[in-house]
């Protein structure tokens, strides 16, 4: 099972909403969280090597249908959209995990993959929160995965180039950092075929896990603002030749260019 999430396209200007506690979502483009795309790819690679069934799951978020159909076109077996969730606003990751937990428990997949993090994870990351609610083993920053029988061999990056390899008895929840290959391309004709076939399952989202209420209510965004750019680079302008000459001068003045 792969959990997918839509994020505001960070290429866009993000502006706080008038009340200053969320971003202005009206004119924003939403795209799939890039780490979730990696998680999907890793799931498809696992399917190809071990014959698993891949189910993609997302909450009802802007432009999510296209993402789910794209996943089907890439080779996912089922796509589920959970409806009846808060719309047009920031969904705390605790709430997301609390909604998904009963659903995951009911379907009881062997393995749950999702992106290691998203740029909206103000209150924590999905993999470990979901692992917590379901009392399942979990691991973040996963860069290697091999599944055999009911055992997953997982490589986690620890930072500074170190990594740890471990063995996890499934079921488990993994936060994927990078798949073993770049996310594949789904030809649009296949996506359109999937859309025409209409294989998207819409299910009412289950009631969130009760115990999540407290943790969600106790975190309140008081103010959202763009960072003050206290220091900013001195911008070099002109045509490429002029800029290149300036940079070369700067490097020479520091004695960093030989001869």
Partner 1 sequence: MPVGGRKQPPVVVEKPEATAVSTISGRSWELPGMWNRMFEPRVLSDYTATGFARIAGLPGGESLEWCYGCGKCVPVCPVDLVGEYGPRKIHRKVQTGMDLFSSDDLWLCTSCANCLRVCPKEVDMTKVMPAVREAAIGDGMVPAELQDVFEKTFRNGNCLGENPRRRNAWTRAAGVPVRVLPTDPGAVDVLFYVEDYWSYHPRGQQAAQCFARILAALDVDFAILGPEEKTLGDSQRVAGEKGLFEALMEDVAATLDKYEFKRIVTPDPHGFNALKKVYPKYGHNYEVSHYTQFLAPLVDKIPFRSEVRHRVTFHDPCYLGRHNGEYDAPRTILDAIPGIELVEMGRCRENGYCCGGGGGGMWLDGFTANHTSERLSERRVREAAETGADVLAVCCPYEVSRFEDAAKSTGNDQLRVMDIVELVDMAMGGTGAV
Partner 2 sequence: MGEENVMSDDILVIAEHDGSNVVDVTFEMLSAARELAKDSGGKVLAAMAGGAALAGSLGAFDRVYLIDDPAVSNYSPEAFEKAFTHVVRDVDPGLVLTSTSTMGLDLAGGLSVAWPAPLVSYVVGLGREGDDVVATSQIYGGKLLAEVVVDSPHAICALIAGSFSGQPSPEAGSPDVETVSLEGIGPSRTSALAVHEPDSGGVDITAADILVSVGRGIGSKENLEIIEELAEALGAPLAASRPVTDQGWLSKPHQVGKSGKKVKPRAYLAFGISGAPEHLEGMRDSELIIACNTDPDAPIFDVAHYGTTVDLFDLVPELTECIQA
Residues 199-258 within binding reach of partner 1 (CB under 8 A): 239-241
Which listed residue (2, 31, 79, 212) binds partner 1 by CB under 8 A? 31
> Using the rule CB under 8 A, is 66 a contact of partner 1?
yes
Cα–Cα distances in angstroms (integers) from residue 106 to residues 40, 81, 168, 205, 249, in the given order: 21, 15, 21, 12, 65
Cα separation of 1 and 78, whole Å?
Answer: 9
User: Is 185 a binder of partner 1 (CB under 8 A)?
Assistant: yes
Burial pattern 9-41, b for ≥16 Cβ within 10 A else e, equals: eeeeeeeeeeeeeebeeeebebbbbebbbbbbb
Which x/- pattern over 43-82 shows residues binding partner 2 (rule: CB under 8 A)?
----------------------------------------
Choose among partner 2, partner 1, none what residue 18 binds, the Cβ cut-off being 5 to 8 Å by kind. none
29 contacts partner 1 (rule: CB under 8 A):
yes
Region of residue 72 (phi > 0: left; psi between -120 and 50: alpha; otherwise: beta): alpha
Of 84 and 137, the one with the shorter C-beta distance to partner 2 is 137
Q: Identify the bridge partners of residue 78 per DSSP, sorted by sequence position.
A: 55
Q: How far is the CB of 192 from partner 1 (least distance, A)?
A: 6
Interface positions with partner 1 (CB under 8 A):
9, 11-12, 27, 29, 31, 63, 66, 182, 184-185, 187-192, 239-241
């Amino acid at each position: 099972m792969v959990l997918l999430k839509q994020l505001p396209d960070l290429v866009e200007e993000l502006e706080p909403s008038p009340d200053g506690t969320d971003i202005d979502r009206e004119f924003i483009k939403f795209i799939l969280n890039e780490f979730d795309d990696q998680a999907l790819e890793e799931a498809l690679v696992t399917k190809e090597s071990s014959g698993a069934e891949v189910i993609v799951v997302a909450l009802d978020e802007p432009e999510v249908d296209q993402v789910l159909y794209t996943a089907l076109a890439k080779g996912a077996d089922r796509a589920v959209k959970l409806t009846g969730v808060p719309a047009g606003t920031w969904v705390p990751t605790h709430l997301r995990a609390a909604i998904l937990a009963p659903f995951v428990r009911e379907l009881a997949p062997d393995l749950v993959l999702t992106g290691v993090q998203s740029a909206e994870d103000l209150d924590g990351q999905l993999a470990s929160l979901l692992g917590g609610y379901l009392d399942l083993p979990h691991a973040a920053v996963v860069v290697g995965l091999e599944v055999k029988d009911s055992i997953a061999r997982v490589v986690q990056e620890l930072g500074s180039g170190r990594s740890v390899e471990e063995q996890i008895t499934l079921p488990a929840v993994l936060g994927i950092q990078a798949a073993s290959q770049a996310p594949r391309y789904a030809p649009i004709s296949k996506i359109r075929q999937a859309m025409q076939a209409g294989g998207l399952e819409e299910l009412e989202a289950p009631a969130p896990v009760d115990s999540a209420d407290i943790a969600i209510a106790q975190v309140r965004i008081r103010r959202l603002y763009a960072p003050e750019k206290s220091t900013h680079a001195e911008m070099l302008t002109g045509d490429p030749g002029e800029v290149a000459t300036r940079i070369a001068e700067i490097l020479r003045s520091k004695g960093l260019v030989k001869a």
